[in-house]
């Protein structure tokens, strides 16, 4: 196989996307259960968005559709990626607020889901809380929400390019 990811078949590219998402979620659970980094409500919503992307990456890899179907899978992955990027962007914004503008810590996600309707819970979660503004992990100068934003954008672009690119032509043939 070539190292040019875009020369690989659609199925292999989408399988690679699913593996990337699985690795990201695996690290998130490792950070939670082994490193003791409890996720805030926005982190949990980002995990859900990654999960949605991973499901459609995997379904696209298993199905291996032709032109129109590839675009449907790309759009479904893209919806998860765009929603995730919006959540991660909000999270990054909260982490860069001055200390006096950080919202007060709110109740946990489980409490909100048990107490409030889903629409109110989502409104409260997306408003953010003090725990969402705390940065206790970074790599190469970027916080975990910032890395999530990078991955959401990268995987979404990858999914769209894989679906809209022309299939590679066999060697020795002319177009």
Under 8 Å between Cβ of 101 and 12: no
What gap in Å lies between CA 52 and CA 36, rounded to an integer?
Answer: 25
Q: Nearest Cα to 81, choosing from 2, 125, 17? A: 17
- Phi and psi torsions of 142, nearest 5°: -110, 140
CATH number for the domain running over 7-164: 1.20.1550.10
User: Model confidence over 80-121: pLDDT tens digits?
Assistant: 999 999 989 888 888 876 666 655 555 566 666 677 777 776
What pLDDT is stored for residue 54 in this prediction? 94
- Percent of the residues in the chain that have a pLDDT greater than 70, as a whole number: 70
**How buried is residue 53: exposed, middle or buried, by Cβ count under 10 Å (0-12/13-18/19+)?**
buried
| pTM of the full structure | 0.75
What gap in Å lies between CA 132 and CA 89, rounded to an integer?
Answer: 12
The string of DSSP codes covering 101-124 is GSPPP---HHHHHHHS-HHHHHHH
Residues of the chain with pLDDT under 50: 1
What pLDDT is stored for residue 100 in this prediction? 66
What pLDDT is stored for residue 69 in this prediction? 82
């Amino acid at each position: 196989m070539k190292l040019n990811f875009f020369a690989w078949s659609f199925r292999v590219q989408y399988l690679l996307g699913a593996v990337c998402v699985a690795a990201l979620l695996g690290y998130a659970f490792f950070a939670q259960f082994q490193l003791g980094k409890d996720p805030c409500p926005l982190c949990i919503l980002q995990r859900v968005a990654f999960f949605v992307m991973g499901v459609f990456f995997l379904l696209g890899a298993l199905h291996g559709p032709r032109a129109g179907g590839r675009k449907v899978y790309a759009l479904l992955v893209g919806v998860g990626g765009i929603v995730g990027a919006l959540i991660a962007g909000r999270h990054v914004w909260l982490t860069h607020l001055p200390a006096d503008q950080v919202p007060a810590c709110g109740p946990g996600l489980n409490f909100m889901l048990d107490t409030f309707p889903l629409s109110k819970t989502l409104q409260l979660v997306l408003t953010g809380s003090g725990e969402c503004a705390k940065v206790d992990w970074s790599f190469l100068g970027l916080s975990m929400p910032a890395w999530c934003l990078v991955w959401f954008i990268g995987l979404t672009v990858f999914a769209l390019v894989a679906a809209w690119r022309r299939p590679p032509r066999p060697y020795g043939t002319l177009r």
